[in-house]
Amino acid sequence: MADTFSLERVLETFRSSLSETKEVYMKYYIAGWQELVSFMNSLGNVFSFISKDVVSKIQILENFLSGENRSCYVTIQSMVKYELENELVDLTKRGSHPESGCRTLLRLHRALLWLELFLERLRTSKEDGKTSVMCSEAYNESLAQHHPWLIRKAVGVAFCALPGRDTFFDVMNAGDHTQVVALLGESLPLIAEVYQITEDLYAKNNLLELP
């Protein structure tokens, strides 16, 4: 992972994450999140409680990916099949498998919806658009529904520290604003597709509310 964030690399990782049969490769899904974490870190310390949580979830998944059962964790589909068949998932309340791959990935999956909604707002925003408003609207429509009051408050404070639209576009390292908007237009259908495939898989297996 390079130090400087680039939107292009996020796009590449999500593109690489889809197999020909539309399975999602864990390795690239995680790499996409790592890129996003590096972006968030470049925005300042206010976001560190968020990035710490993402990093710890990435770590859990990476441990599965390099562990003795790594061949079962190549795609999200193979992970779900393996963990369910071997009863490695706490389905209704947290018990002996509090950090299953399925529940850990579900947290990132929910956050991917936030990202999709936020980037779509950013893409279609006008020059005077406020990133804090775009972020919190996207948050309220997605992740907030899964977060307790205290977290929602802390997240609200972090949103106020977000840089403006211009800085955001610059930090994405994807050229001038028109080029960023074009790249966002290219990235969003991919992110949406990865999101939808995961959502359908989790819905089919009744995994959308894992504790």
| Residues found near ligand 1PX in the complex (CB under 6 A) | 7, 36, 39-40, 43, 47, 49-50, 53-54, 107, 111, 114, 135, 139, 143, 151, 155, 162, 172
Q: How far is the CB of 19 from ligand 1PX (least distance, A)?
A: 24
For CA atoms 49, 50, 55, 56, the dihedral sign is: positive
Q: How far is the CB of 30 from ligand 1PX (least distance, A)?
A: 13
Cβ-Cβ contacts under 8 Å for 169 (sequence gap 6 or more): 177, 180
Rounded to an integer, what distance in angstroms lies between the CA atom of residue 6 and that of residue 56? 22
User: Would you say 19 or 167 has its CB closer to ligand 1PX?
Assistant: 167
Q: How far is the CB of 136 from ligand 1PX (least distance, A)?
A: 9
Q: How far is the CB of 56 from ligand 1PX (least distance, A)?
A: 8
The token pair at 207 is 């995994």
User: Would you say 46 or 84 has its CB closer to ligand 1PX?
Assistant: 46
User: Would you say 16 or 114 has its CB closer to ligand 1PX?
Assistant: 114
Rounded to an integer, what distance in angstroms lies between the CA atom of residue 147 and that of residue 153? 10
Rounded to an integer, what distance in angstroms lies between the CA atom of residue 59 and that of residue 3? 19
Rounded to an integer, what distance in angstroms lies between the CA atom of residue 87 and that of residue 100? 10
Three-state SS at 140: helix
The token pair at 167 is 């800085």
Residue 88 carries which DSSP code?
-
- Give the CA distances from residue 82 to residues 45, 87, 128, 199, in Å, rounded to whole numbers and listed in that order: 38, 8, 48, 18
User: Would you say 67 or 211 has its CB closer to ligand 1PX?
Assistant: 211
Rounded to an integer, what distance in angstroms lies between the CA atom of residue 68 and that of residue 37? 27
Q: How far is the CB of 139 from ligand 1PX (least distance, A)?
A: 6
User: Would you say 30 or 43 has its CB closer to ligand 1PX?
Assistant: 43
Q: How far is the CB of 71 from ligand 1PX (least distance, A)?
A: 26
User: Would you say 25 or 116 has its CB closer to ligand 1PX?
Assistant: 116
Residue nearest to ligand 1PX (CB): 111
